Amino acid sequence: MEGLRLKLPELRIGDKVAKLPIVQGGMAIRLSTARLAAAVANQGGIGLIAASGMSNDELRYEIRMARSLTKGVIGINIMVAARKFSEIVKTAIDEGIDLVVAGAGFSRDMFGLGKESGTPIVPIVSSVKLAKISEKLGATAIVVEGKEAGGHLGTDVSVRNLIPDIRAAVKIPVIAAGGALHGQDVVDLLKMGANGVQMGSRFASSEEANSAPMLKEFYLKSKAEDIVVIHSPVGLPGRAVRNPFAERIMKENVPPTRCDNCLKECKHNFCIIRSLIRAQQGDVDTGLVFTGEYISRIKEILPVKEIFRRLMAEVEVAT
């Protein structure tokens, strides 16, 4: 393993150093919790706890649980669109989180939250313009997400087309996200100028992912033609697997019967939080199954350790 690892550079974000430049995507609601994040961190990558939809107490529990399971780098991923965004970020910082990844929107205020404590703030961006603004405002690194990614999308451009221009525009570390499943993908993106690669779908299909077996089985059955784009109440498109619920919300609004007022602004065409929770709990008919564009290429549910072993073996033979 050590011989293989020499082929990949470390990923440094502020004063945090991951031995491998692999970031596990923060998949909400509750797909990536302490067990998955810690498993990735133990292999030398960066593990992210998906904080969207969590209470402050639940987040504290997950961060402490992750800390008990690993000495590696642990962060959170949170939707900027969440009404309690600042509160959740402050809670994570109070718990000593290593970094904060923020997507589904953009907030100038978040950089101030991290400045006082020295906590790296890592926004998810999909354009040269936002990359430059992020660096100017104090981002420690950025995640550059292309159209291949799962969940909320900020672009219809491939990550492979975004990376070169954004790499040339900023000096801070750039983490490529969208469509990376194998070692060759990682090598390709690093050669394009990325400092790290974020992987979501591959880890959503892991043993440690905190989702019901029914959801994991649903991923494995998904075909390329099943992948659709829906319009989220957040105000962004979102990539999902076609199921009865996705079919319905693409045709009509399904207004929530009860609203928890969880978003700063909500289009109320359906409840994003509740629909994602239903999927996480195994309801693949009336839940929203967010996924990356290439989920159909994943054929096995594997332990994180085995995912990394195969990834490193693929890197070794990549050209």
Residue 46, classed as helix, strand or coil, is strand
Residue 135 and residue 203 share a domain:
yes
Structure tokens at 262: 């969880």
pLDDT at 116: 87
pLDDT at 5: 44
Residues 6 or more apart whose CB falls under 8 angstroms from that of 128 comprise 165, 166, 169
Residues of the chain with pLDDT under 50: 1-6
User: Is 244 buried (19+), middle (13-18) or exposed (0-12) by CB count in 10 A?
Assistant: exposed
- 111 in Cβ contact with 142 (< 8 Å): no
Residue 113 and residue 130 share a domain:
yes
Which helix (H) or strand (E) segment holds residue 78: the answer is strand 73-79
Residue 177, classed as helix, strand or coil, is strand
Domain residues for the domain of 265 are: 213-296
- How are beta strands 151-152 and 237-241 bridged, if at all? antiparallel
Structure tokens at 238: 């979102």
pLDDT at 30: 94
Total structural domains in the chain? 2
Burial 212-239 (b: 16+ CB within 10 A, else e): beebbebbeebeeebbbebebbbebbbb
pLDDT at 7: 78
Q: What is the pTM of this model?
A: 0.94
pLDDT at 51: 97
Residues 6 or more apart whose CB falls under 8 angstroms from that of 219 comprise 201, 204, 205, 241, 289, 291, 295, 298
pLDDT at 123: 98
Residue 103 and residue 165 share a domain:
yes
Residue 220 and residue 204 share a domain:
no
Residue in 258, 290, 285 with CA at minimum distance from that of residue 271: 258
- 227 in Cβ contact with 291 (< 8 Å): yes
Residue 282 and residue 155 share a domain:
no
pLDDT at 6: 45
Residue 261 and residue 154 share a domain:
no
Residue 155 and residue 95 share a domain:
yes
Question: What's the CATH code of the domain at 108?
Answer: 3.20.20.70
